[in-house]
Structure 1
Amino acid sequence: MDSTAQPPASGEDPNQFMYERYVSSGGFGAAPTDQADLAPRMPIMRDLVRRFFPADRAAEILDLGCGNGVLLLAAQREGYRNLRGVDGSAEQVAIAQRLGIAGVRQGDLFGELAQATSDSLDVLVTYDVIEHLTKQQLLRLAQDALRVLKPGGRWIIHAPNAESPFFGRIRYGDFTHELAFTRQSLGAVLRAAGFASVACAEDMPIPHGLKSAIRLVLWKLIRSMLRFVIAVETGDMADGIYSQNLIAVAVKPR
């Protein structure tokens, strides 16, 4: 029998077992074979870079849990030069290297931060990462992130949004997910860790053609209805974040 089909040994971390088979398990579609296969995700990544990365193209940027490197590729195409990415999945890193995405290597995420010099990064990105952590690990990551960022540096986070009525599709769409967040819960963690400010935004459709523009219009209509439903239940007319994922930007004090 193929050894990859064996269940985890007693005491083995189930998440680590899955990370080692993240691509070959087939849970996330076909692996890209060239950079053209990443085209469907590029508008989303390009928008994130343009909205949240600093203007300085020489900024020091670490993508922690970079997967196949699609965000790094988008940043490279936007002119950023000092980029590197680390991922714990050998399969994901192999894809990034096969696609020719520079600066990607395999490594332990906490080990990478432990080796980083204090006040050395302008931007830390964790895109679809913190939901894989336990609460204890998240608090540790937040403290490590605060240490390695320069004063005024940004931690950019993309994670499942528990405020969305459809968050379960993301929260339970990956066996290795442990957490989901609201803007309140994530903001509280980040401020408790010492970040000066935390801003959260919806991960809404990004218009880059007719279909995506129509999706954005429909999304705005739907979110208005969702806001109305919440107001009927609670009497609270305050706006919310209703997309299945949210984006957060935490800034280190200057």
Structure 2
Amino acid sequence: MTDDYAGYSVWKQWNPSQFMVCGPYERRYYKGEFRGLDLSGRRILELGFGNGGFLRYATDQGARISGTELLAEARASAAERGVRVYALDLSDALTEDTGNFDIVVAFDVMEHLTREQLLVLFESLAKLLKSGGHVLARFPNAQSPLGCVTQNGDWTHRSALSGQVLMQLLVGKPWTMVRAENPFTVVDADSALKRIGMRLRYATRRGVEWTLAKVYGIAIALDPNVTVLLRRD
């Protein structure tokens, strides 16, 4: 698997000099995704922290951060900034920090794992999280035709997921789905006309979703990605 990620940070256009930089757009996005969750003073574990944007946001909210990452250069950048970096299999976290985390975050990570790896991961997360702790994850939306663009746009993606598929995998395990929905929308444009256009597009999407729910009796998110929030029972 590691060979599949050769040159991955270059392809993602991650610049080490920009590690743990979080701009205004990202801050608004994270604030929206974490609505209802207080990050201040919380112990947060981010799986696959990439270029570290969320690590910066969470730190600025007063959280105590740590994480995992496949790419060696990103791990080195995190360590230089005092971020605790755990092994990918979380073996050291399970030894040192069982039941100590409040929130686990995984942006664009779970689609890189196989079914078997996901099951092992959630067994580990159930041990690491406090009772009542949360997992917030975003991944390509396999229940939307638009999700094919995101899912098939990266060679390293292994699983097609949705909120329903994830809960099917976790049947009988100590997890409750709090929400599964389109990622938080940030209306960010440099002119009033563009902002109106964005709002109209999102309103149209909501109208299509509402119509499908009425016609077929199922509520689905249609964005290319979906965000899920799970609670550890």
TM bucket by the smaller chain? 0.7 to 0.9
- Alpha-carbon distance between aligned partners in 1 of 2:163 and 2:92, rounded to the nearest angstrom: 27
Q: What code does the residue aligned with 2:33 have? A: L
- What is the match of residue 11 of structure 2? 27
- Structure 2 partner of 1:171: 151
What secondary structure sits across from 1:205 in the alignment?
coil
Q: Deviation of residue 158 (structure 1)? A: 1.0
- Structure 1 portions without partners, runs of 5+: 1-14
Q: Tell me, yes or no, if the aligned pair for 2:39 and 2:58 is still in contact at 8 Å.
A: no
Equivalent position SS for 2:123: helix
Tell me how far 1:213 sits from its aligned partner: 6.2
Shift of 1:56: 5.5
Q: Take 1:213 and 1:42, find their aligned partners in 2: how far apart are those partners? A: 21
| Structure with the greater alpha carbon radius of gyration | 1
Q: Describe the shift of the 1:146–1:105 C-alpha distance in structure 2 as closer, same or farther (beyond 3 A).
A: closer
Q: Secondary structure at the match of 2:228?
A: strand
In 2 relative to 1, CA 193–112 (structure 1 residues): closer, same or farther, beyond 3 Å? farther
CA contact (8 A) 1:43 1:206 kept: yes
User: Paired residue for 1:9?
Assistant: none
State the SS of the aligned residue for 1:44: helix
- Matched with 2:47 is 64
Contact 1:206/1:213 (8 A) holds in 2: no
SS class of match (1:207) = coil
Structure 1 position 72, deviation (Å): 1.1
Residue in 1 aligned with 2:118?
138
CA–CA distance in structure 2, aligned partners of residues 190 and 72 of structure 1: 27
- Tell me by how many angstroms 1:247 deviates: 0.9
Aligned mates of 2:55, 2:196 — CA distance in 1? 25
Q: 1:74 aligns with which of 46, 49, 57?
A: 57
Task: Kindly indicate whether residue 200 of structure 2 is the aligned counterpart of residue 217 of structure 1.
Answer: yes
- Say if 1:208 and 1:120 are closer, same or farther in 2 by CA, change over 3 A: same
Deviation at 1:176, TM superposition (A): 0.8
In structure 2, relative to structure 1, the CA distance for the partners of 1:149 and 1:97 (3 Å cut) is closer
Hey, what does 1:155 align to over in structure 2?
Answer: 135
Cα deviation for residue 192 of structure 1 reads 3.2
1:88 aligns with 2:54: no
Distance 1:205 1:32, change over 3 A: farther
**Which of residues 8, 12, 17 in structure 1 aligns to 2:3?**
17
Normalised TM-score (structure 1): 0.77
- Determine if contact 1:65/1:87 at 8 Å carries over to the other structure: yes
Counterpart of 1:6 in structure 2 is: none
Within 2, Cα distance between the matches of 1:242 and 1:61? 29
Can you give the 5+ residue segments of structure 2 that lack an aligned partner in the other structure?
none
The residue that corresponds to 2:31 in the other structure is: 46
Percent of matched pairs sharing the same residue: 23
Maintained 8 Å contact 2:18/2:51: no
Code of the residue aligned with 1:19 in structure 2: it is Y
Q: Structure 1: how far apart are the matches of 2:231 and 2:104?
A: 10
- Report if aligned partners of 2:111, 2:158 keep a CA contact under 8 Å in 1: yes
Deviations 1:111-168 (A, max 9, x none): 3543343211111111111111110010111111111110101111111110111111
**In structure 1, C-alpha distance between the alignment counterparts of 2:144 and 2:27, rounded to whole Å:** 24
What is the rounded CA distance, in whole Å, between the counterparts of 1:226 and 1:70 in structure 2? Answer: 31
Q: Distance in 2 between matches of 1:152 and 1:79?
A: 20
Answer 1 or 2: higher relative contact order, Cα 8 Å, separation at least 6. 2
Q: Is the 8 A contact 1:116 1:148 kept in 2?
A: no
Task: Please state how far the C-alpha of 1:109 moved relative to its aligned partner.
Answer: 3.9
Deviation at 1:179, TM superposition (A): 0.9
Q: How many angstroms does 1:73 deviate by? A: 0.8
User: Quick one: distance in 2 between partners of 1:192 and 1:172?
Assistant: 30
TM-score for the superposition, normalised by structure 2: 0.84
Local SS of the residue matching 1:33: helix
Distance 1:104-1:185 versus aligned 2 partners, 3 A rule: same
